[in-house]
Amino acid sequence: MCKKNGKKKKKWLSINDGLYFLSVSDTKRIVILGKTGAGKSSLANTIFREKTLFQTGDSPNSETNKCKAETKSVNGKSITLIDTPGFVDTKRSEEELKAEIVRCITECAPGPHVFLIVLKVDRFTKQEQDVINEIKDHFSEEVFKYATLLFTHGDQLPEGQKIMDFVQKNMSLSDLVEKCGGRCHAIDNKYWKNVRQDEYRSNKFQVKELLKTIDEITEANRGGCYTNEMLQVWEKVIQQEQKHIRKSSPNMSEEEISGQAKVNTSRLINSLIKLADITTDALLRALFGVARLDENPI
């Protein structure tokens, strides 16, 4: 659950018949997923009304090599955007991508509230379908309950056409939008500025509408976050690290403790990932071991 009036609410999740406390703030965590070159980083900059906060480029190769998270207030709401490396990036191996997605978990724990699945206003080819399949493989079918489709390059829509008109011309896209609860948006990161004649073509208006959808997704999921076994274990490890920091540095604020715990935990995962041929299952077992060892010190 998300907190209200600056106070945290408590949430318990069952993991292997055990109950674990998850501490969740009112900041909404939003993970941006999509194909290399779809405009994920530019989208993040547009939402935050920034130009260079997230690295962008015109090259077909991914400009985002590592997951990056930034938190800002947008329309009075605290939002953390987590930009991820692009799927189908020819410069990165599948294992490298998986490792970086796992690193992203430190910023998502105990789980993201929303996924933005980014596509371009363009033909929906087999490559785009492969990206959707990879997202589903990484996060399971459950991901779509927490997702909205976000189409960039909205200026390519013909005059008077809206994104649902574009989607309905393709059966695969229509099915995908249906999986996402009928949610989809278009935005242009460059051209749709203050267009008074057609409010729909203002990216300021589109960001406002997107924020409404993000609230609707959170409400539909009763304020909860997307989670899986890996995320639950990762949150457990972060909580253990927070306990250590509180004991060793009693003068630190809760915000500082939370940030330091994520940094320390991220270093742990970096060390684990550097081990030769480590698999996701092996990493999960290692994290379980860390959490249990901290709970039951020898």
pLDDT at 11: 38
pLDDT at 20: 31
pLDDT at 293: 46
pLDDT in tens, 112-141: 899 999 999 998 999 999 999 988 887 888
Least confident of 10-14, 44-48, 144-148, 214-218: 10-14
Q: Looking at the predicted structure, is the pLDDT value of residue 224 above 70?
A: yes
Percent of the chain with pLDDT over 90: 31
| Packed helices 229-248 and 254-273: angle between N→C axes, nearest 10 degrees | 120
* Greater pLDDT, 80 or 4: 80
Q: Looking at the predicted structure, is the pLDDT value of residue 10 above 60?
A: no
pLDDT at 175: 95
Which candidate, 76, 60, 99, places its Cα nearest to that of 28? 76
For the residues 242-248, what does the mean pLDDT come to?
Answer: 91
Q: Looking at the predicted structure, is the pLDDT value of residue 233 above 70?
A: yes
User: From the CB of residue 37, how many other CB atoms can be counted at a distance below 10 Å?
Assistant: 18
* Residue 190: DSSP 8-state: S
pLDDT at 197: 59
- The per-residue DSSP string of 30-88 comes to EEEEEBTTSSHHHHHHHHTT-SSSS---SSSS-S--S-EEEEEEETTEEEEEEE-PPBS
Q: How far is CA 182 from CA 114, 236, 292, in A?
A: 15, 34, 42
**Dihedral pair phi/psi, residue 114, rounded to 5°:** -145, 145
Please, what is the average pLDDT of the chain?
A: 77
Predicted structure pTM score: 0.75
Q: Looking at the predicted structure, is the pLDDT value of residue 200 above 90?
A: no
pLDDT at 288: 54
Which candidate, 150, 214, 217, places its Cα nearest to that of 177? 150
CA 168 – CA 182 distance, rounded (Å): 11
Least confident of 16-25, 110-119, 233-242: 16-25
For the residues 259-274, what does the mean pLDDT come to?
Answer: 74
Q: Looking at the predicted structure, is the pLDDT value of residue 5 above 70?
A: no
User: Cis peptide before 250, with omega less than 30 degrees from 0?
Assistant: no
Q: Sorting pLDDT into bands at 50, 70 and 90, what band is 12?
A: very low
Which candidate, 150, 131, 86, 111, places its Cα nearest to that of 30? 111
* Greater pLDDT, 142 or 18: 142
